[in-house]
Chain A
Amino acid sequence: ILNVEQSPQSLHVQEGDSTNFTCSFPSSNFYALHWYRWETAKSPEALFVMTLNGDEKKKGRISATLNTKEGYSYLYIKGSQPEDSATYLCACPTNAGKSTFGDGTTLTVKP
């Protein structure tokens, strides 16, 4: 069983603030890391699929980095907007397709 941890548990920011959160995972036997966004009353959807050490992915104002040697990934949101309010989950899949999820970071962006 992998131990995937996320911090902080929750975050409240003002519109326009930039923010970041962390996902840590075991660095041994790394396969991949995924970031998901889960908005209330919707299904979780994948943001990024990251596989290589040093990977940097970007989608609009959201970006993510990966360090497999030290076992962490950062998710950054630049200029947060109220529509960014959601729970952000990271997950480590195995090659069998099963994923272990962190507890998530719940972001609230106040207008």
Chain B
Amino acid sequence: SAVISQKPSRDICQRGTSLTIQCQVDSQVTMMFWYRQQPGQSLTLIATANQGSEATYESGFVIDKFPISRPNLTFSTLTVSNMSPEDSSIYLCSVGQGDGELFFGEGSRLTVL
């Protein structure tokens, strides 16, 4: 198992601004992922955060909009850039085990006005 601390837990932002979400894990992990849940929709994978190299983005997500850092095996950040109301979501950091089971942070609930 892993304990994941994520912050901020919630924020209200203005259109056009950017917000960086931080994710800290209590142990070194190889696989770290960022998910999003828009209102009424399922958890959707944004990208895999790779340590020491560029993140791997899923279809529909691009680095300019969601830049990700992974400076070491315990920490990652996700930035939501140039926000619009459509970016209002819960953003979740997660780490994976070998069998695919995921451990999640408590999420960052973002509201864009």
Task: Point out residues on A near B: beta carbons under 8 Å.
Answer: 1, 4, 31-32, 34, 36, 41-46, 49, 51, 89, 91, 93-95, 97-104
Tally inter-chain residue pairs, CB-CB below 8 A. Answer: 60
User: In the assembly, what is the distance between CA of A41 and CA of B103, in Å?
Assistant: 15
Of all A-B residue pairs in the complex, the 9 with the closest CB atoms, nearest first, are A93-B100, A97-B96, A43-B104, A101-B43, A97-B31, A103-B42, A43-B106, A101-B42, A44-B104
Assuming the contacts A94-B100, A97-B33, A99-B100, asked whether A43 and B105 have C-beta atoms less than 8 A apart, the reply is yes
User: In the assembly, what is the distance between CA of A8 and CA of B59, in Å?
Assistant: 27
| Inter-chain contact A98/B45, CB cutoff 8 Å | yes
| Inter-chain contact B48/A98, CB cutoff 8 Å | yes
Could you tell me how many residues of chain B have their Cβ less than 8 Å away from some Cβ of chain A? Answer: 21
In-complex Cβ contact of B43 among A1, A49, A89 (8 A): A89
Q: Which of B1-52 contact A (CB under 8 A)?
A: 4, 31, 33, 41-45, 48
**Given contact pairs A43-B105, A98-B48, A99-B100, a sample of 10 additional A-B residue pairs in the complex whose CB atoms are under 8 Å apart:** A32-B100, A41-B106, A43-B107, A49-B100, A89-B42, A93-B101, A93-B102, A97-B48, A98-B45, A100-B45
| Inter-chain contact A45/B45, CB cutoff 8 Å | no
Q: Which of B68-113 contact A (CB under 8 A)?
A: 92, 96, 99-107
| Inter-chain contact A34/B106, CB cutoff 8 Å | no
Assuming the contacts A98-B45, A102-B42, A103-B41, asked whether A31 and B104 have C-beta atoms less than 8 A apart, the reply is no
User: In the assembly, what is the distance between CA of A41 and CA of B106, in Å?
Assistant: 7
Q: Closest residue to B100 on the A side, CB-wise? A: A93
User: In the assembly, what is the distance between CA of A104 and CA of B41, in Å?
Assistant: 9
**CB neighbours of A34 from chain B (8 A):** 100-102
User: In the assembly, what is the distance between CA of A95 and CA of B100, in Å?
Assistant: 7
**CB neighbours of A44 from chain B (8 A):** 43, 92, 102, 104
**23 CB < 8 A contacts A-B:** A1-B59, A4-B42, A31-B100, A34-B100, A34-B101, A43-B103, A43-B104, A43-B105, A44-B43, A44-B102, A49-B99, A89-B42, A89-B43, A93-B96, A93-B101, A97-B31, A97-B33, A98-B48, A99-B45, A99-B102, A100-B45, A101-B42, A101-B43
